[in-house]
A and B are shown apart, each in its own frame.
Chain A
Amino acid sequence: MAIDPVTLEILKNHCRAAAESMAYTLYRTAHSTFVKETEDFTTGLTTPQGLTFATPTELGATWFVGLNYANVINAIDHYDEGDIAMTNDPYSGYVCTHSPDMHIWKPVFHEGEIVCFVVGHIHNTDVGGAVPASLSRTLSEVHQEGIRIPPTKIVQKGEVNQEILNVLLANVRMPEQNWGDLKAQIASVNTGERRVHEMIEKFGVETFKEGIAGLLDYAEAQARDIMRDLPDGRYFFADYLDEDVAGGYPCRIALTLDIHGDSCTFDFTGSDPQIEGSVNMPTGGAERHALMMVGLVYVLYSLNPRLFLNSGVCRVCRCIMPDGTIVNPRFPAAVGLRTLSVQRLQGVIIGAFSQAAPDRLPAGPASGGPIMNVNTIDNRTGRRIVASIDPITGGAGGNPKEDGTEGSGANSSFLKNTPVEINEAEVPIKILRYGLARDSGGPGKHRGGMATELRFEAQAPNTRITARNRDRSRFTSWGVLGGRAGSQSRFLLNPGTDHEENLGNTDILKIGPGDVVHIGSGGAGGWGDPLERDPEAVLTDVNRQMVSPESAERDYGVVIAGGSVNPAATEARRATLRAERPTDGRFFHFGPERIAYEAVWTDGNYTALTELLAGLPVHWRFFVKHRIFEAIDALPAERRRGDGSEVRSSYEQVVRRYPQLSALL
């Protein structure tokens, strides 16, 4: 570091203050309720080359610490003082990661030289396209996901470019909100610019320039320090989305983590081919794309919460992302619902690292709950009401020290619910239950955090429910070191009646008066053997209605009688259970659905599939994957060997069946 450490620490506080002030300014002046409710925005400062060196930690989304604006900065050949540029196109530089995210950046000049950029984004409620809010799993091309503005100056030398603005606003459903939010973004970068000028006045431009390099180096050094404490080795982990498209086949995200000294490599080979749906993650295959780094930032920060968060942290990592896959899709694959896949990816990264540090990291976080939207009619006024009622979240995985947090936590910590009383006052529905779902937390020495569940009754005909990002109704979160998987998520219509319906991963539903909807997230995974859990803790869970007496006995071997633990019966029960299920020494514990699935789709089969699909033109891969899955499904159990041979023979059948394909090979 060229700068002395005392000045660096002071400059660090000033840079953070600038980023936090930008965030507060944006939050305060944003127009849309969506921004205020979800805090789905960022602000930050980047180097002249585009590397983020300061981000806010109190407000805003947690996903963009490692953002690199280089591609979009360079897409514009000349900047004048007072210019502000913007883009929301995922395929113009891979800074924006789905079309609702409007990114802007403003150069900060000092004596004619650009000394840094002040940047930020807001998730707009709508940017036009095929569906309201611009996002749907049914979309398959980015063109359907709304207007795309490639890197363009929206403000030139302080003057708004009205023509571009008119084009943007003509293409969206609620133009006054987009314009209001854009104004808030402009206010935010102007605040940042002013703060940078103040810093330069205070510290001098040379110190400032050395300082921002020093801050990246400092974050990198801290991150390397954390990495060095992790044992070298190669750690593989994969997880699935239940479906790649509605009613489709599982979607796999696979990671080989290689830790070597103070750095690591993420190799995503083995992940699914790009999807003909909208859960693709647009990264451009960059070595350190921000979306790939979220899990890394969570892990490193959790190992040392004093870590200064900026893109220097990401220098410890390098990614290998095969072309044409879910982690590196080709234009024009739709990317709108990458939220779902990115969250699963975070879990995959946590799982890979947890093998390196099982005594320092948690089990699998809960997920699979949607953001619930209700569109219904107020019977008294006849007015249609559209409202987001709640994010359905679940807890954190059990960890080496204690149980996972209940209802939310880990990588869903930033979400906020809506009070039952506010929902009922604003939306004509009646809420019948909101709370924690009993027996949802994965059993463990330290139990996984519980899922939340919401049950409500519609009051009017033609009530439409959307449940964006539904998942985990099949494959669950995972436990570690003997800890068990969490529960599946649940989406039921009219539970407990003779017309009960399991809605699985459905995300759109039309119901009428008296219909009852029950929605619950998945639970989080447990840490450590549940038979080693303190029986008194199990009793407390039972008294807290978090664990049923049946589960206490079945999963924990704890026998409760007359409101207290029966020690002798418990000891006997635990001995029986131990004998029945000898530990297999496996690090992870998965739910029965995944175990059954992986009995068919073994590592060997996946290796073969990955290799074969990689040899195909990108636009054939998803199609061929589905044909192979159909063929394997149709295969009698005795002909499955799991060594890849059945995948190869299915592949050959597919190639034979489609001369259009064989002609290409």
Chain B
Amino acid sequence: MGYRVGVDIGGTFTDFCVFDEQTRDLHTLKVLSTPDRPGAEIIDGLTEIQRRYGVTPESVVYFTHGTTVGVNTVIQRRGVNLCLITTREFEDVLEVARLKMPDPYDLFSRRPTPLVPREKVFGVVERVLADGTVEHEVDEASVLAALDGIRAVGGEAVVIALLHSYRDPGNEQRVREILEREAPDLSILCSSAVWPVIREYERTVTSVVAGYVQPRVAGYLGSLQQALKSVGVPAEPMITKSNGGVMSAELGKTECVQMLLSGTASGVIGASHVARLTGSDNTMSFDVGGTSADVAIILDGQPQYGTGEMIGEFPIYVPTVSVTSIGEGGGSIAWVDRLGVLKVGPESAGSIPGPACYDRGGERPAITDAFVVCGFLGGAELGYSAVKMNASRAEIAIKTIADRLGLGSRETAEAIIRIAASGMYLEVSKLVSRYGVDPRDFSLLAFGGAGPMMACYLARELGISRIVVPLTPGVLSAFGGLIADVKNDFIKTVFTDVEPASAEALRANFRELEDKATHWLREQQGFTGEAQLLFSADMRYRGQSFEIETPLERAWIESGDTAAMAGAFHREHERVYEHADLDAPCQIINQRLVIVGDSPKPQVATIEQSGEPPTPLDRMPVYFDGQTHQASLYRRADLKAGQRFAGPAVILQDDCTTCVLGGFTGEVDPYGNLILTAES
């Protein structure tokens, strides 16, 4: 028996979640992140955990960790001096991308400047055809010429991304051999090894992001391993992955492209766990921080996956938990345009200086300041005493725009909150329309520092009548890391018609993927527990230009039942697009396999029950719907299972404040989750 520790490093705070395997208690902690000394915050936190909860480093038997070091490397453009080798005549792949611009109405709209500028891209003479035929072997002289170019620009690392390498990686490997022989100091990645999927821009940009961050991420993970060892933590650290799983830090050093969105993904994993625990199968997770809100759709208790998620300005195409980021958070700034109309965001006060009420020099009114002026915040300290509230600063900041609007401070503050909520409603509307679901069938799972503060307002906009605030809303990503499974994805592009003649090849390909997957889990990960294999294929009707991932059963693959595969695709197509064409020929573009090694899940303890109504700490005035109301103030830690209370109410806890509007009733479930229900 010992402790399982999950750590998630964000821009402002680093979150800790500690699970005591003996008592099944959860402890949480937030410390300020130290972006200039990555990793130092972990040691700070472990020291604090020992001080507060008596957890010694030696007793940490499982350690998971999510980090933004990769994303930050891209955003700050502080990666390695990277070069790219392509097939000659296709060197502009990053410049041209997929042509489309981010804002098609704006004549000045631009794609981001590539991480590898064109002068560091070198074409080599070689060619593989779409069916895998090697039309031209690699011309060694052209590789040596490319190497001269790489030397001339001081390249430290190189990505090799040749046409159709997903089909036959031989030419990429040949280029790699030549470079290794001639330049053993170069760090080299092949696109076929990073993620061997058809579509050259998507595969290349994914590999380029991987190559760009790799040395920095690997260095970070190395020093993390060292630091944990030096304080005596016996567990080999596990790193949370963008696909919602975990892998060892040692593997992360080479597969860092898999962990770039680790924090957001594990937040959704934590959210799905809470969703299942609270019987909310269809849930929208709503994770609001200082600068943005992350929203994810959870269907039947499962997170949804996608590709093309953004790392800074760049999409990457490895399987990732789907999360939509909205540029509004607690720090979003309110302002008045030239025509006198109140706007919120996209500018944010961030963590420095932060909202005016943080009293760190911020003078412009942020959403958080509006909550202070409406009376919901300011009664307690935020973030484990890391931030002190100054209500008068918020008041002054709001006043600056209230005067322009000709409104009172509280009216202005409420207007800010409602406009912010309507902006979030707009973005969430797009998301639910994309999935074709009705938000009224969903629960809203609110977490992050500002999620529980905003949740009632957004729920009212969306017509959602049930809100869940988990026991540890400020550290759900860290918690998600603790329950994540060891998981990896494998893909093979085949581009074949679904017909009996393809059955043998499909079976052989899945065997090959299974061998790779098993090797990864058992040999590379050293995992010995139970494992599952999930088979699927990216399928489409012939002539379509997009695919739907369709789950396949092993039995169909073994028996070569291509009719069953096509049937599964027709059903998926019907589910996603509301129509199917049973007579149209289907194609499989990619075969996919996911391997999942079950990690032991923390069985969170139930909390003490009470049949009595909770006693408010205090009553205090809050302002909403154009009026002042008396709200009950509760401390989260005092609330017992089964207790109910009516809004308006304010619930304080270490890592966030929950605002319960009038018209909502709160109830505490056996695990301490707060369920808010709108009166119909």
Contacts and interface: CB of A to CB of B under 8 A. Distances in A.
Interface of A: 5-6, 8-10, 13-14, 16-18, 20-21, 23-25, 28-29, 31, 33, 36-37, 57-58, 62, 176, 180, 183, 187, 191, 198, 218, 221-222, 225, 297-299, 301-302, 305-306, 309, 350, 361-362, 365, 391, 393, 396, 399, 401, 405-411, 413-422, 424-425, 430, 432-436, 452, 455, 540, 543-546, 563
B433 A21 contact: yes
A16 B426 contact: yes
A225 B338 contact: yes
B106 A305 contact: yes
B495 A25 contact: no
Contacts of A415: 99-100
B99 A408 contact: yes
Contacts of B101: 405, 408-409, 413-414
Contact of B95 (A297, A407, A420): A407
B423 A13 contact: yes
Contacts, number: 206
B528 interface: no
Contact of A433 (B90, B108, B339, B423): B90
Given A18-B429, A20-B430, A405-B110, 11 more contacts: A14-B422, A20-B433, A25-B436, A31-B579, A183-B579, A298-B105, A393-B99, A399-B108, A420-B163, A436-B92, A452-B96
Given A6-B419, A406-B96, A413-B100, A298 B107 contact: yes
A176 B118 CA distance: 45
B426 A198 contact: no
A544 B432 CA distance: 43
B60 to A, nearest CB: 46
Contact of A218 (B152, B339, B415, B463): B339
B339 A225 contact: yes
B199 A419 contact: yes
A629 B117 CA distance: 49
A17 B429 contact: yes
Contacts of B577: 28-29
Contacts of A301: 105-106
28 contacts: A6-B407, A9-B419, A10-B419, A13-B419, A13-B425, A14-B425, A16-B426, A36-B545, A36-B546, A62-B104, A191-B433, A302-B105, A302-B106, A302-B108, A405-B109, A405-B110, A408-B101, A413-B103, A414-B100, A419-B98, A419-B202, A420-B163, A420-B200, A421-B166, A421-B198, A422-B199, A435-B90, A546-B118
B428 to A, nearest CB: 8
B96 A28 contact: no
A28 B579 contact: no
B635 interface: no
Contacts of A24: 430, 433-434
A525 to B, nearest CB: 13
Nearest to A411: B107
Instruction: Tell me which of A18, A418, A435 has the highest count of chain B C-beta atoms within 10 A of its own C-beta.
Output: A435
B520 interface: no
B482 to A, nearest CB: 35
B422 A362 contact: no
Nearest to A412: B99
Interface string B335-375: 00111111100000000000000000000000000000000
B429 A407 contact: no
Nearest to B344: A9
A420 B98 CA distance: 11
B339 A221 contact: yes
Interface of B: 89-93, 95-96, 98-101, 103-111, 117-119, 129-130, 152, 163-164, 166, 198-202, 337-343, 405, 407, 415, 418-419, 422-423, 425-426, 429-430, 432-434, 436, 463, 495, 543-546, 576-579, 581
Instruction: Tell me which of A20, A362, A540 has the highest count of chain B C-beta atoms within 10 A of its own C-beta.
Output: A20
B102 to A, nearest CB: 8
B461 to A, nearest CB: 8
Instruction: Tell me which of A225, A411, A540, A544 has the highest count of chain B C-beta atoms within 10 A of its own C-beta.
Output: A544
A13 B458 CA distance: 13
Given A5-B342, A62-B105, A436 B429 contact: no
A29 B579 contact: yes
Contacts of A413: 100-101, 103-104, 106, 109
A435 B130 contact: no
Nearest to B497: A381
B612 to A, nearest CB: 38
B150 to A, nearest CB: 13
Given A24-B433, A419-B198, A420-B163, A407 B130 contact: no
A145 B495 CA distance: 36
B177 to A, nearest CB: 23
Given A28-B433, A218-B341, A422-B199, A416 B576 contact: no
Given A6-B419, A422-B198, A410 B105 contact: no
Contacts of A433: 89-90
A102 to B, nearest CB: 18
A401 B292 CA distance: 29
Given A24-B433, A413-B101, A543 B341 contact: no
Contacts of B163: 420-421, 424
Contacts of A435: 89-93, 95-96
Given A5-B405, A434-B96, A362 B104 contact: no
B495 A350 contact: no
